Every structure is written in C-alpha cells, then in structure tokens.
Chain A
Amino acid sequence: AQSVTQLDSQVPVFEEAPVELRCNYSSSVSVYLFWYVQYPNQGLQLLLKYLSGSTLVKGINGFEAEFNKSQTSFHLRKPSVHISDTAEYFCAVSGQGAQKLVFGQGTRLTINP
C-alpha cells in the first residue's frame, strides 16, 4: 500500500517569491509520482509526473519537482510565483501496475501581492 504526506496544509508567499511545496511518500513497491493543481470550483490538472529517468522533472506553468528516492520525497518548486498560482496542490502516487492514485491531503498556496 502507498501513502502520501504533504507536510504543509497552507503556504502563504509573496508574489514573485520562490516557493516549495513538500511531499513525502511511503511505499513497499516502486511508484510513479504526480503533482496536480486544483483551481477553485474546478477539477484537477496535471502539473508534472515522474515515471523514471532524470530525477528533476519539469512541468507546466514553470513548476518543477525533484524525485529523491533515499528521502522518499517529491517536492514541488517554482522560482517565482504569480497571483494566478493561487490554488490547491496535490501530490499523488500510484503503484506500478495500478491506475489508482493515492493523494496527499493537499497544500493551499496563497499568493499575496
């Protein structure tokens, strides 16, 4: 079984500041890792995913994440945030061989002008 822990439920940052959203996972098998974003009153949109290969993954809207197997982490970063990045961000894992996503509790990112 897999589990995901998002270490911060809320992260406030100022516009144009860098941000890191933290995600740790637990699994007894190899996993695939995902970051999704949810804007108010909308479904989830994929930001990026790690399947294999390079541990630094680049996604949409200037986001990137780094897979660290030894620390079982997959933190999301953006060097400079914009007001439009205000949303809830979800880290998720799936076991290899299963479509089912296991989500973390989410991190609400608030951008202050």
Chain B
Amino acid sequence: KAGVTQTPRYLIKTRGQQVTLSCSPISGHRSVSWYQQTPGQGLQFLFEYFSETQRNKGNFPGRFSGRQFSNSRSEMNVSTLELGDSALYLCASSPMGGSGETQYFGPGTRLLVL
C-alpha cells in the first residue's frame, strides 16, 4: 500500500498570504489528523477529521482550518500567515481514528513564512 502523501513538500509564503496544504491518506483509512512541528513548541495537534467531519480540534486560532473530502483526502488552510506559522506540517492517517490506533505519518510540508 502506498503511504501517506503530502503536497507540496516545501512552500515559501509571505506574511498575510494564505496557504492550502494537501494530504492523501493510506487507502482505506478514514481518519486524518494534522500536527504542527516547530523547534520551540514541538509537535502539536491541530485537528482530526473522520468521514468529512471535524471530530477534534487543538488549541490553535481560527486562522487554521481544514476539511476532508468524501475520498478521505484532507486539506488544511492557514489564512493571514504570520512568521510564527513557519513549521513542518504533518498529516497522519488511521483506519477509524480510534484511540490506540497507530497513526501513519506523511513526510510533511515544510512552510516558511517570510
């Protein structure tokens, strides 16, 4: 099976712009979670989607949003970018999103905000 894929892998934006990141989960997986990784804050949970519905949300401002499509692919959007949004954004998928299920991570999208 192909793993989790994320596009693009690298992205450079300027402050105030918006960005959309894409994630394709492992075939058959219906749960997609997003995490932000920064040197200062480490790995932080953004949100989780299952069957096109957001089930859980982390402690991030409303500028961070996401959605999931009927084929389980997911996108996350960050509006009005700030310098502090520079990070590695990781997507993870699992079959049903149950607690204790292994989450399979993609390689990430590295976003640099100038």
Contact = CB atoms under 8 A, between A and B. Distances in A.
Interface of A: 32, 36, 41-46, 49, 51, 90, 92, 94-106
Contacts of A43: 4, 90, 92, 105-108
Contacts of B15: none
B42 A99 contact: no
Given A99-B33, A100-B33, A101-B45, A49 B100 contact: yes
A25 B94 CA distance: 23
A42 B42 CA distance: 15
A42 B9 CA distance: 11
Contacts of B45: 100-102
B55 interface: yes
Nearest to A51: B100
Nearest to B110: A41
A99 B90 contact: no
Given A44-B90, A106-B42, A99 B108 contact: no
Nearest to A33: B100
B5 to A, nearest CB: 10
Contact residues on B (Cβ < 8 Å of other chain), bracket: 20 to 34
Contacts, number: 62
B32 to A, nearest CB: 10
Contacts of A98: 56, 99
Contacts of B97: 99
Interface in B32-75: 33, 35, 42-45, 48, 55-56, 58
Question: Nearest 9 A-B pairs (CB), nearest first?
Answer: A43-B105, A103-B43, A44-B105, A32-B100, A99-B97, A100-B45, A43-B107, A51-B100, A105-B42
A99 B94 contact: yes
Contacts of A94: 99-100
Nearest to A46: B102
Given A97-B99, A103-B42, 9 more contacts: A43-B4, A95-B99, A96-B100, A99-B33, A99-B97, A99-B99, A99-B101, A100-B45, A100-B58
